[in-house]
Structure 1
């Protein structure tokens, strides 16, 4: 039994982390758009209806398979660090790490430009047609998700006393909104409308208007508002002190979203594509390379052998992420060596019967690995919300009494949004929008959205592949997946979850490919992840032997994992991830979709 069926149809399929975004995507398809139009429509809606997890000031990688060209590419919506962002600049402020909230960690907002690039290069609809659904949600209102309402409630005093523009945006008559009540964002609606007005004034051509919209955002009134706010405002942040931002209008004006080649590897006859090492995407491919040497199906789904093998391979792949991944424009990432058969065979031999508690990056091509030392800084003293700002994840946890024997639901950490789309023409999209969430920094006056904090993922220690540098992309956790079979789009999927994205989606993928589950059964299978490697988010916590696993696991499996040296941590069922997926049935071409019941918000639509 599943909580819902695997959906099948012939016209189009959309699955995302919010039902309103999925509805917008299908509406765009019904209006004559293709998968790329639908993905952009859904992406803009997610900026409005999941403000605690993403916004126009955030980031997004977009994986694209265009059936007309038979090409798989990634549109990089990860903006770079400002030109003023140097390790010396942060040390001059007395900081040993980039804070997880406030204005200092802001990068160039990449999400808005990336959706425009997708629309311009691959779409068919005008920007006004695609943006109308987001404008409607912002102007007419949308039901506040319970998690968003909880986050606003925890941060309400901050919004009243310090981040007052956030208070005007998210509080209703000075109070947090009730869960599932209607919330409007008129300032964001007006921002979208003004962008459309300036785009349409630039000329009648579709592409001409899209390029004008980019100018309005990155060198026009949006950039001007951001520049003025950051130059003239000292903002309380995660440090417990007030700082001005480093991002300027010039940083925004010089940026353009890029279309790049994906990184890929074949697994069980399927061609799996990921973003490059400026994301954590290749870690998924490294895990697959290691796991291909094991007969997972013979172990049995969710057996102790299965979980132990997957967890130990994840530790090895993620350790390499920590040592080697970074923006390839600035560092020589040995990706070919990391994915080579000889290196993989060498690493696979490290998987033993016992859990490893040691972080073990490899030495591809004989190069010695390097992982910066972790400091043990404590959050500054202050009200409860100050501790929430210190943690760079978007998750906001309310004070709660622990549940005996099970970690409280609020500790099942997660972040980000996800959307996937396919159409009857064979086009397919997978994207994970994130950043610019309500906890990241104050809302920019007059714009209705805050900036992102992706800069927190860069190291201030120099000489590491992910060290901070002006104009450099901090390595992001955002990691959608697109799969081809015999040269055609077969599957697209993703999940919220920060560092855990490529563990939770791996579980889904293995359940589908190695164990033969359909898409819906695969998204509903038992979820688990290792906390072996340091988090990409401040304060970079890690628990080398900890394995979080949903409570449906059998007691015998948990005991067996503990016997092997793991430290199982049971979390509430249906609390890890929100995998969304679309696909194509290779035998008859039917379009497929599935959405996780976790969080009670993800939804799939198929016709």
Structure 2
């Protein structure tokens, strides 16, 4: 569509790595240069992202991975989404006087998952040792890394709170009582020591590479890390966004009895592409369902920056996200009608609901035998939970409000055709206090459960929260592409728009990254305080004024975002001839693609 982009699209044949921070991207590519594969590189980058973007992810957070192993010719999911602890019951939480699970603090904590997911990927698909892939993270934590302005601002905005309520966090994030300045070297010696001990202890245990990795996994789930976490929780009472102090329910057995697992992807065919997503314990299928609705419209004839395209896509997303809220949940614990939700007949009916006007209603479909869930969602979306003036805990635009957490993303392809797409999140510096001596906090993913019985997303022991984390992998005629973005509820909206413009309008990868993005806030949010904003949407201003006014004339409540603020997409492509491409958003001047 244009001869100019904000940066060149990376092209080569050896390997490409792209992520939401340039240091992670260059570390990943360095691993490829040393002979590692995409899986080794992803693990190294994933741990570095915990160091350089601690306001967006941490080792005790959550992690979905979609990968393609070229040698095994398999495309699978690693689910490293921890479950609710055994003592996490609706009765217990209601006894604390809660109607919503707080968006921070110990009651919001599920079993930490990210660490084990990364090591499962490394053990089964990587080639390098634990020391080789962890060393860059150890170095940055021990010796320091340039502090991102947004991390510095986040810490500064919370420094008084840390000093008053979370002193262990104050010790790590404001050493000697001083908040770090932007671009200064920042060190986390406790986290460096934690990772160094993991490396040293696993090597001392002896055995082959796989045995050493498993020794580190056991140290996390049953050894010194689990002991430090559980010892802390035995007496900790933590102030959270409920404005009270609460104790956690995570136990030693919860840590010991959980590990990351493999799953099949959920896939959908669209315009010759097979798109792979995670199961409905994440929001991933919502992208597939939106594609199934949009099959019924001639998107190729629409201006990809125009009013008709934006309106049609927004309305389709509203319908799919309403079904997400009504029906998605952990399929190990619930009957999720995914076959119906992705069926042609059902989505033809959904598509017929889209008119030339913006809908202001919550309209989940009525799936036979599940109608009560649709009714429950409509009622829930209109409910006042009595939470006033609360900041969302993972918002649409996390980077614009520093106290809110968000997510990171990476995509990597190696010379052998292995692909990794991963969206780590949780365990943010603002989610919980630092566990003494370990250098990292626990997560707050439990805020995504409901304290209401009978729902796929009801709080229940051993159940996964229905997370927003949603990497993507798609393939067509021998080509494969990995892509994703941070952004909470907006992840599958921004990814969808980028993918549609590539498929229907021929935008290349970087062009699509640079193009103006938009999203809906109409449906109920996944994060505390769980608001729905009927008819509301946000769009970047570099569409035409006519597009914006046309959307308003159709009844959309349009907020025009500040320029270059919506979306943090990255993507990597392996063409059928083996050539490679990669791209990263210019927004925030932080994400970068590298390769050769």
The bucket for the TM-score relative to the shorter chain is over 0.9
**Is the Cα–Cα contact under 8 Å of residues 151 and 397 in structure 1 kept in the other structure?**
no
Partner residue in 2 for 1:465: 456
Shift of 1:542: 2.0
Partner residue in 2 for 1:373: 380
Partner residue in 2 for 1:347: 350
| Structure 1 residue matching 2:153: 3-state secondary structure | helix
The equivalent position to 1:524 in structure 2, one of 499, 514, 517, is 514
The answer to whether 1:231 aligns with 2:230 is no
CA separation of 1:16/1:290 partners in 2, compared to 1, >3 Å: closer, same or farther? same
- Superposed, 1:198-347 pairs within 5 Å as 198-347=201-350
**Is the Cα–Cα contact under 8 Å of residues 545 and 567 in structure 1 kept in the other structure?**
yes
The answer to whether 1:435 aligns with 2:426 is yes
The equivalent position to 1:171 in structure 2, one of 174, 192, 197, is 174
| Structure 1 residue matching 2:8: 3-state secondary structure | coil
Within 2, Cα distance between the matches of 1:131 and 1:157? 33
* Moved segments of 4+, more than 6 Å: 394-398, 411-414
Partner residue in 2 for 1:401: none
| Structure 1 residue matching 2:175: 3-state secondary structure | coil
1:378-433 per-residue CA deviation (whole Å, 9 max, x = no partner) reads 557xxxxxx67x532279989xxxxxxxxxx5499872000000011111010000
CA separation of 1:396/1:312 partners in 2, compared to 1, >3 Å: closer, same or farther? closer
Within 2, Cα distance between the matches of 1:16 and 1:111? 17
Identify the range of structure 1 (371-380 vs 172-181) with the bigger mean alpha-carbon deviation: 371-380
Partner residue in 2 for 1:404: none
**Is the Cα–Cα contact under 8 Å of residues 64 and 77 in structure 2 kept in the other structure?**
yes
Partner residue in 1 for 2:537: 547
- Superposed, 1:79-228 pairs within 5 Å as 79-228=82-231
Partner residue in 1 for 2:578: 589
Shift of 1:367: 2.9
Partner residue in 2 for 1:415: 406
Could you list the runs of 5+ residues in structure 1 that have no partner in the other structure?
Answer: 381-386, 399-408
Shift of 1:590: 1.0
CA separation of 1:323/1:432 partners in 2, compared to 1, >3 Å: closer, same or farther? same
Within 1, Cα distance between the matches of 2:159 and 2:566? 27
When the two chains are superposed, the root-mean-square deviation of aligned CA atoms in Å is 1.7
| Structure 2 residue matching 1:173: 3-state secondary structure | helix
Within 1, Cα distance between the matches of 2:479 and 2:77? 14
**Is the Cα–Cα contact under 8 Å of residues 37 and 125 in structure 1 kept in the other structure?**
yes
Within 2, Cα distance between the matches of 1:159 and 1:377? 27
The answer to whether 1:570 aligns with 2:560 is yes
Could you list the runs of 5+ residues in structure 2 that have no partner in the other structure?
Answer: none
Scaled by the length of structure 1, the TM-score of the pair is 0.95
1:350-396 per-residue CA deviation (whole Å, 9 max, x = no partner) reads 1111100101001234531231625434557xxxxxx67x5322799
Within 1, Cα distance between the matches of 2:312 and 2:49? 36
Within 1, Cα distance between the matches of 2:34 and 2:307? 49
Partner residue in 1 for 2:66: 63
The answer to whether 1:535 aligns with 2:525 is yes
**Is the Cα–Cα contact under 8 Å of residues 489 and 525 in structure 2 kept in the other structure?**
yes
Within 2, Cα distance between the matches of 1:223 and 1:293? 51
